[in-house]
Amino acid sequence: MRRMIFAAVALLLLYGCSSSPEIAAPATAAAGCDRECLRGFVTQYLDAIAAHNPAALPVTANVKFTENNEEIKLGEGMWQNFTRLTDYRRDILDVKEGVAVSFMVLEGDPSPILYVIRLKVENGRVSEIETMTVRNREEGMLYDPSNLKAPRPLMVSAVPANQRVSREDAVKIALTYPEGLRIGSFVKVDSPMADDAYRYENGQLMAGPECTFFPNCDVMKTQMIPTLPEVTDRVIAVDEELGIVAMRMNFGAGSLFDGNGVLDVWHSFKIYDGVIHAAEAFCKAVPAGQASGWD
């Protein structure tokens, strides 16, 4: 009888006093933030910013917030003039690091606003918020929101387990992209790309089948690209289920057509079967030498 009582007490301590076994769980399971938890924080952020109410978002006491590379007070910037989310929202969820990155398009006047965020979640609160806005062609150089009505299925579909690569290999493959930019050739660095790989930047098709923006841009790996030796890169999230590596890059000198400033880029790469199948980015023209605030 004593053994039975001790066993019952041990189970109560381990699983809690729930009367339903469906909701009982070890205490350690609540410590992290799974995919739905991270997705929920993106939704909470959008709800709070739509209400222009930063107090509605659970944040740490020392939360850091940047918009377009400048650190500002939470509640300023886009928080004061947020409109409404369209049907385009694409979440990249890194459970291991507690990071959510989301590419989205907002209603704007007179044109849609490209908006991208990175949230760092720690102990049930947001500790880091990094954002960028692109409102028009002048801000983004390339700008075609007509191709951003909804996320492309490839970028939001899970990769079957037998086609996934390891987290470490996915990062290595993604890093061949900025490596190729530095020397002006994806071929010379042998960046692994599928024959039908494509790339969109601010909604503009820049590489892959049906690309007509530049001559011979229909094959992403062999297309002519500029040599940008000053490219810097930072991996910000790895979504192992979707097979996506998200990165922030500054393309440096020579990255803008008119030479005034440089291109600041939030990129994402769809990787499976050991190769890059797609790349989609939001990018913005910024002054040369401007730091991201997170380097």
**What token pair was written down for 181?**
């930019």
Residue 148 falls inside a structural domain: no
Whether residue 171 sits in one domain with residue 258: yes
Give the domain extent around 209: 155-286
Question: Which pLDDT score is estimated for 31?
Answer: 52
Tell me how many domains the chain contains.
Answer: 2
Whether residue 193 sits in one domain with residue 159: yes
Q: Which residues are within 8 A (CB) of 40 and not within 5 positions of it... i.e. 6 or more apart?
A: none
C-alpha 18/C-alpha 280 separation (Å) is 45
Whether residue 252 sits in one domain with residue 160: yes
Whether residue 275 sits in one domain with residue 160: yes
Whether residue 240 sits in one domain with residue 168: yes
**What token pair was written down for 110?**
């007179």
For residue 14, name the pLDDT band (cuts at 50, 70, 90): very low
Residue 164 falls inside a structural domain: yes
- Sheet of 125-134: strands edge to edge? 70-71, 59-67, 125-134, 113-122, 99-106, 85-94
CA end-to-end distance (rounded Å), the chain: 62
Sign of CA dihedral 132, 148, 234, 181: negative
Residue 12 falls inside a structural domain: no
Whether residue 174 sits in one domain with residue 261: yes
Whether residue 179 sits in one domain with residue 97: no
Residue 8 falls inside a structural domain: no
Residue 88 falls inside a structural domain: yes
Residue 13 falls inside a structural domain: no
66 Cα distance to chain centroid: 15
77 Cα distance to chain centroid: 20
In whole angstroms, how far apart are CA 28 and each of 6, 15, 25, 51, 97? Answer: 22, 10, 8, 34, 17
**pLDDT reading at 24 higher than 60:** no
C-alpha 20/C-alpha 203 separation (Å) is 48
Tens of pLDDT, residues 131-156: 999 999 999 888 999 999 999 999 99
Query: The domain spanning residue 256 has which CATH number?
Result: 3.10.450.50
Residue 126 falls inside a structural domain: yes
C-alpha 99/C-alpha 41 separation (Å) is 10
**Looking at 103, 135, 167, which one is the last position of a domain?**
135
Question: Which pLDDT score is estimated for 3?
Answer: 44
C-alpha 88/C-alpha 103 separation (Å) is 8
Tens of pLDDT, residues 47-80: 999 999 999 999 999 999 999 999 999 999 999 9
Whether residue 263 sits in one domain with residue 196: yes
Whether residue 117 sits in one domain with residue 219: no
Whether residue 275 sits in one domain with residue 159: yes
Residue 79 falls inside a structural domain: yes
C-alpha 135/C-alpha 254 separation (Å) is 22
Tens of pLDDT, residues 158-174: 999 999 999 999 999 99
Whether residue 246 sits in one domain with residue 160: yes
**pLDDT reading at 25 higher than 50:** no
Whether residue 247 sits in one domain with residue 166: yes
**pLDDT reading at 10 higher than 70:** no
Tens of pLDDT, residues 238-259: 999 999 999 999 999 988 877 7
